[in-house]
Structure 1
Amino acid sequence: MTDVALPLPEPTELDEARHRELQILADDAVLKGHPYGDERCRNCLFYLDVDDSISYCWHPKLRVLVGADWWCQWWEEIPES
């Protein structure tokens, strides 16, 4: 067994480009990592799987993974069936 020093991981150009794209998206969406009162992604119409702490938001202007307790300006109440 040898002790090989591995290089420290560094973000790639693709990682940095995606970060910039998602930062613009988050700023445009007023996407916050905390709820707004009782409004949170978990109880939003566009949160795909309410049983997961991280799920896909299928709102046409977002379409990204979000946390259950996050919030954005496009929060919409789930209609009663």
Structure 2
Amino acid sequence: MNNEQQHALLRKMAQLMRSGLETQTEPFPETEKEFAAILDELRKLDPNNVQGKMVISGFVDHPYGPDKQRCMECMYYLVHREWCDLPELAVPVDADWWCRLWRI
């Protein structure tokens, strides 16, 4: 994906969330088994189904939870690319977004 395509996809994702896309922010996976179950759901999707990825992974366009977690502090976030490097997601993300696959 080139830089222009990445920015277009980022804008599309932001617009979906602004438009009220309902995502599965709960339950947050507390165990590796629960985390793996979400990854299994994501693997069943067409890799180009970004909206499906967003719904299953629980994307929101703001810091989330009592600790105000965000992509910026997630182990999968690539700062210089503004990218989620979790293979099952592999999408551009804003530093202030969050999803339930967040990990430190």
| Larger Rg over CA atoms | 1
TM-score by length of 1: 0.61
Q: Structure 2 stretches of 5 or more lacking a match? A: 1-47
Please say if 1:36 is aligned against 2:64. yes
CA distance in structure 1 between the partners assigned to 2:49 and 2:64 by the alignment: 24
Letter in 2 for 1:36: Y
CA RMSD for the aligned pairs? 1.8
TM-score by length of 2: 0.48
**Which range is displaced more, 54-63 or 22-31?**
54-63
Q: Which has the higher strand share?
A: 1
Q: Structure 1 stretches of 5 or more lacking a match? A: 1-19
Name the SS for the 2:72 alignment partner.
helix
Q: Which has the higher helix share?
A: 2
CA distance in structure 1 between the partners assigned to 2:90 and 2:97 by the alignment: 14
- After TM superposition, where is structure 1 displaced by more than 4 Å over at least 4 residues in a row? none
The percent of aligned pairs where both chains have the same amino acid is: 38
